[in-house]
Amino acid sequence: MAGAYDDRDGVIWMDGKLVPWRDANVHVLTHALHYASSVFEGERAYHGTIFKSREHSERLRKSAEMIDFEIPYSVDEIEAAKALILKESGLQDAYVRAIAWRGAGEDMGVASARNPVRMAVAAWEWGAYYGDAKFKGAKLDISKWKRPSPETIPSAAKAAGLYMICTMSKHAAEAKGCSDAMMFDYRGYVAEATGANIFFVRDGEVHTPLPDCFLNGITRQTVIEMLKQKGIEVKERHIMPEELEGFEQCWLTGTAAEVTPVGQIGDYSFDVGALTRDIADSYEKMVRA
């Protein structure tokens, strides 16, 4: 599939039925368009099976609850919708996007309790998120925007509004010739990239930021478990910016990113070393098993 995302062949699951791709539209006064009242999941299917599909469906419903609405479909119904759209797409390896939002209704102010909650699922081909960075290591900028305090946002929700500063950060990074940006949190600790969690290696140990103000990614959790099974110590902790100079290797994790080596963050350089390659290879084998 190629071209604009609103002009493609195929179907999208929308509110319980299959809709021609080009007809999967919403009204301009949809609440989510104005107030970001939506949640979503990005998932990958390998050989026709979505990796950790049910965990994604469960998180979608929990994210909705965190931003004060209930998705009118159970986890089982969401699973069935994803399976149907994957079948209808004819794709074996695909990116799957499930999204739920407050639609157009009687309310068009900040409050929207009377508006219907809607949901859609689409699937398409999407290759490596960072292009050839999987081989040579991604180049990251350092964002001027910081992940906010959990006292100001529901940081454990995968909510659309929380990605606004991520979009801004990634645009600024791409303008500098980088693939992405690393963000600090509101306290100045290392947090994450704009759509992926981050890991570092020093003296055989793995260090990763404590997800106390950003999303504890499903891929992040998977990779931590993989590392522990390999007998590698993982330290989840607050990481200061000055520590970047002492780390030897670095990688990103996420459904779209999978496991992507990092070669540079700002002025700091990292080797695409043996452990990074091993984890990337092990993850690839796991999801395709």
Number of H helices, E strands in the chain: 7, 15
Q: Which two tokens stand for residue 149?
A: 């305090």
Report whether 209 contacts 164 (CB < 8 A).
no
Which amino acids are annotated catalytic?
Answer: 158
Which secondary-structure segment (H or E) carries 122?
A: strand 117-124
Report whether 44 contacts 94 (CB < 8 A).
yes
Q: Kindly give, in sequence order, each residue whose CB lies less than 8 Å from that of residue 239, ignoring residues fewer than 6 positions away.
A: 189, 190, 200, 207, 209
Spell out a b/e string for 231-251, using b for 16 or more CB atoms within 10 Å of the CB, else e: ebebeeeebeeeebeebebbb
- Count of C-beta atoms within a 10 Å radius of residue 218: 21
- Count of C-beta atoms within a 10 Å radius of residue 256: 17
